[in-house]
Amino acid sequence: MRAGCSYNCGVNSARYGHSPLGILCLTLFCSSGCRKPDTERPDHPRFNSNVVMRDVILHSVALGREMRYRVMLPNVIAPRHRLPVVYLLHGAGGDFRDWSNNSYVAQYAEAGLILVMPQGDYSYYVNAAEQPADRYEDYIVHDLLSDVETKLPIARSRANRAIVGVSMGGFGAIKIALSHPDLFAFAGALSPAIDVPRRPFSIKRIQQSWALHSIFGPWGGEARHGNDPFLIARTVTAAKAPYMFLSCGDGEGLLPVNREFAAVLSQQHLSYEFHVVRGGHDWEQWDRQLPSLFARLIQHVDP
């Protein structure tokens, strides 16, 4: 393990051996896969006096630790009135502050939605194949939904729930919505890394490959197939699937796999729309898509 890394990577050193190559692999794995404590980052949320923002801590049974999420909701809510909820998933390298700090999403809380932004770490929001304690999908669909609906004035039905994400969070939003079609009426994904379970080991991207190996298991294995949105989409009927909104920038390397995924949705006759838009893999591009995404979202969730 690299000097100064005091975090438990969950890696069995015997698996890699004590050869120079084994030590290199273990070091690279730990440098990419260690779960570090949530360090404080500059926080500059964008919202006005018509919106209330709260940071909440919940104890996740699935993860066995405390997790944070940020909430934005209208400043004034009529007594006994219940609002639709949108879960917003951040991308790799981000945290629960990303949506509020990098976009103008608060305007949709002002318009009558409750926005929930959970901490997702580097997880792709799935139950990790080789880290039994990292059950992030269970954390989202069980612990988070239960905590949110207990503490906030939210309408507790599929018709009032949506899930949206960017990049890694876009993968998570689509994967979770397709795996649990009874939970969400709408799923949105901006530049989703939709192909990650299919990515083979790459020497050029060795750190990412080891991290994905920890999350999805060996290439071609059962966990890879079980978390592959391309395969999951073929098992969901059109009557049960959520409406899906996808977009990808014309300057992104993810565009070909997003086109391929949209073609699968079309073949399965699932309800979706896919937009190729101007720009790259960044918040500037994603923020420009929010008006179109939320306009469609509002059409598919009950007020």
Domain ranges of the chain: 1-37, 47-300
Question: Which stretches of 161-281 are assigned E, i.e. beta strand?
Answer: 161-166, 186-190, 243-249, 272-277
196 with 173: CB under 8 angstroms?
Answer: no
pLDDT for 206: 86
The Cα–Cα gap between 282 and 293 comes to 16
pLDDT in tens, the chain (303 residues): 233 332 233 333 333 333 333 333 333 333 333 344 445 678 999 988 999 999 999 999 999 999 999 999 999 999 999 999 999 999 999 999 999 999 999 999 999 999 999 999 999 999 999 999 999 999 999 999 999 999 999 999 999 999 999 999 999 999 999 999 999 999 999 999 999 999 887 788 888 888 999 999 998 889 999 999 999 999 999 999 999 999 999 999 999 999 999 999 999 999 999 999 999 999 999 999 999 999 999 999 988
Q: Note the helical H segments in 55-188.
A: 98-102, 106-110, 136-138, 145-151, 168-179
pTM: 0.87
- The secondary structure element, H or E, covering residue 164 is strand 161-166
Pick the CATH number of 47-300 from 3.40.50.150, 3.50.30.60, 3.40.50.1820, 3.40.50.970: 3.40.50.1820
Helix (H, G, I), strand (E, B) or coil at 249: strand
Residue 214, strand partner residues: none
Residue 73, strand partner residues: 52
58 with 147: CB under 8 angstroms?
Answer: yes
Helix (H, G, I), strand (E, B) or coil at 63: coil
Closest by Cα among 302, 182, 173, 175 to 240: 182
Concatenated DSSP letters for 226-242?
HT-HHHHTTTS-TTTSP
